[in-house]
Amino acid sequence: MNQTNQADYKIRSGKINIKSFFRPSFIILFSFCILILTLTDGCTPAVEPITKACFFFNTYVSVTFYSEQDAAYFEDCENLCRKYENMLSRTVEGSDIYRINTANGTPVTVTDETASLINDALLYCEKSNGAIDITVAPLMELWNFTGEETEKTPPSEEDIKLALTHVNYRNVLVEGNTVTLTDPDAAIDLGFIAKGYIADRLKEDLIEKGVSSALINLGGNIQLIGSKPDGGDFIIGVKRPFTTKDETMTTVSASDSSFATSGIYERCFTYNDTLYHHILDPKTGYPVQNTLYQVSVLCPDSETADALSTTLLLLGQKEGMDFLTGSDYNAHAIFVDNNYTLTYSPDFPE
């Protein structure tokens, strides 16, 4: 990539007309996976990819394989997705999270995986000083960005203030595999980290089965297994926010790593000429307001990429950059602001 250094960060802008697949429709998702994976160095014959998809976690999950033998493992991917949806979704009756949220403050025994993931999420809450909060579920229910209403309206200020009284990650107590909400009216939502965790589990399972080259797309959380069959990197497009067509701002080359994007354009509505989006500030109860449109994170594992992309977006560009560079995460980020300027974290891979 061509670069322009400015101060301590890399700032780049411009457009590259390669399709992107961040939080897309199924058609865009499918076509981009084919486009991205058939790019070769011009010398090695392209290997025909096989992309299969299913719907879990209120989003499309796709896996692109490079052989019929590997593609036969997609049913195992579906089964894993079903397992984790039934374990981690707050809306699936009987899931660990559903049982915690409906226990009225009584202790709930959950799987070791659920307890571990909640602990991971709580670390982001603590390290960000509450910029992200896993007890934001009462606010998410109130705003209902995933509802089917044709015309949405923001909730009342009174309802938001009431919901805010139950938003505090410190009300989540984890002891072994027992979880207690010390506020009976609190509720957990792992939406900022769960899909990344699940993508990591899909990758682990496929590698154990001998898959050496594949691409997992879990609602925009991109998990890469190895490199392309020709040995080259996968090419990932960074979507230009608020575009109705497949327009990207730049691309990232990567292998055997993860790439996740959080953006305010993914689930949103306009009311009285004001945009309301689903990235809620747990301190105000309203969609976060800063200069950022989206944040993309590149790192070895998808759980970190998923959690960091949302956390950095909530923190804002300056505080988010400081948070990232001052941490021990092996991660890199691209911040896209409301002027469509791309700001890269230091040492972003070429």
pLDDT tens sequence across 180-214: 999 999 999 999 999 999 999 999 999 999 999 99
Q: How many CA atoms lie within 13 A of 67 on its CB side?
A: 8
Which residues lie across from 16 on neighbouring strands? 248
- Nearest CA among 331, 250, 242 for reference residue 294: 242
Report the first-to-last Cα separation within the chain, whole angstroms.
Answer: 6
pLDDT tens for 70-129 read: 999 999 999 999 999 999 999 999 999 999 999 999 999 999 999 999 999 999 999 999
pLDDT in tens, 136-163: 999 999 988 776 655 688 899 999 999 9
The residues, ordered by sequence, that sit 6+ positions from 217 with a Cβ below 8 Å of its Cβ are 21, 29, 33, 60, 61, 62, 63, 64, 223
The C-alpha torsion from 15 through 21 and 26 to 28, rounded to 10°, is 20
Total residues belonging to the chain: 350
pLDDT at position 310 is 96
Assess whether pLDDT exceeds 60 at residue 346.
Answer: yes
Residue 47 has a pLDDT of 67
Cβ–Cβ under 8 Å, residues 213 and 227: yes
Does pTM top 0.75 for this prediction? Answer: yes
- Rounded to 10 deg, the angle between the 302-315 and 194-208 helix axes is 160
Residues with Cβ within 8 Å of residue 270, at least 6 apart in sequence: 276
Residues 6 or more apart whose Cβ sits within 8 Å of residue 300: 256, 257, 258, 330
Q: Which residues, including other chains, have CB under 8 Å from residue 154's CB and lie 6 or more apart?
A: 143, 271, 276, 286
Contact partners, residue 53, CB within 8 Å, separation at least 6: 26, 29, 30, 60, 61, 62, 63
Query: What domains lie within the chain, and their CATH numbers?
Result: 5-329 (3.10.520.10)
